[in-house]
Amino acid sequence: MRTLLTLAGTFLPCLGSVIPQIPIGTSSLSATNANISVELFNDLEELSRLVDISYCVGLTGVGIQKPFQCASRCSDFENFELVTTWNTGQLMSDSCGYIALSHPPSAPRIILAFRGTYSVANTIIDLSTVPQEYVPYPGDEDGSVETATKLSKRDIDPLKAECTDCTVHMGFMRSWQHTRPSVLPQVEQLKQMYPDYQLTLVGHSLGGAVAALASLEFQGRGWNPQVTTFGEPRVGNQGLTEYFDKTFVRDRDLNGRYRRVTHVDDPVPLLPLTEWGYTPHAGEVYISKPDLSPEVPDVHYCKGDTDPDCIAGAEVDGKTLTMPAIDQEADLESFKDWWNESKDALSVPARWRIWQLFFAHRDYFWRLGLCIPGGDPKDWYRKYPHDDVGESPEL
């Protein structure tokens, strides 16, 4: 696998001009997959910009400054106040992000934005083969967690404290454990200062996994977070999936408190592998359009944990094709004939489309991950959606 990732990073960006991009999810959407509302579309689009800003954290000489300034999209949010940033280090299991306040007339929120990592594939592969037991309230065995951030059993909602046969991705859990001392005291204080502000978590890639684990603890504390992740990998086994589904109520409206946004060509929501014992949880919102920019009809609600009409369908779609033997130049025409006949059905297993880490894994309403004015240059000509309910977004 490591060899595959190395080759992908070296050669696959060059192959994009030779081999056509083939969408991962080829299932047609059924009638059970309703389109989201314009309101929710606008909400998700705004949150994608907020998580894009998190990529300024950890960059030398850039960062985010008070009141809320950065080289990326901070100017889009006039009523925001930066509280703090965190950066626990450069290891794969470390974490970056920021905490900000959204003041009226913007929606009053306490926002935690968890940055992704450019080495998410390596993180998944290196640290997922040894899952660890998941405990809803973290301990302090190694002394790395401050006493002020400990969560005792009496603080836990007893209805949600039991997680039977639950295991969690070791690297993701370690990343959250490294992050807790940096964010828990701040969030606890902000909750006291701004009791009417909605606690809002947003994360991309590895940051989505960390946000997921943070959300379980925050819910256990009775903080009722609203969570939105983009390209979130699978964080645990079936027991943990059931625990997620029990903890967060699923609604097809703006009150849905967990939105797990996936993209038709993104392999990360399919990792770590099912064969390794990992499963996705519910709350999926699926972008079915391969290219930027999606519009309201391209974004759909999904049912359950593994809706076959959403990203989970990519694990069963497609055919395995055998390339004919090519012998000297005489067979070139035979190869061209085979390619023209087969290219529409050609399917690389979705979870091995590592080259999409450079493209689709970053394409959530905008191309995420570059802390420069206006974000990725691909986005510079685009407009933001309208906020008027019932009006289609203009992109």
Q: Is the peptide bond before 105 cis (omega within 30 degrees of 0)?
A: yes
Give the Cα separation of 188 and 321 in Å (integer): 55
| Tokens linked to 303 | 């049912």
Neighbours of 224 (CB within 10 A): 12
The residues annotated as belonging to the active site are 205, 266, 361
| Tokens linked to 360 | 């689709």
Q: How far is CA 307 from the centre of its chain?
A: 17
Q: How far is CA 302 from the centre of its chain?
A: 16
Give the Cα separation of 309 and 327 in Å (integer): 41
| Tokens linked to 302 | 């999904």
E strands, 103-140, are 109-114, 132-133
Give the Cα separation of 224 and 215 in Å (integer): 8
Give the Cα separation of 184 and 218 in Å (integer): 9
| Tokens linked to 329 | 């130049």
E strands, 252-362, are 258-263, 284-287, 299-301
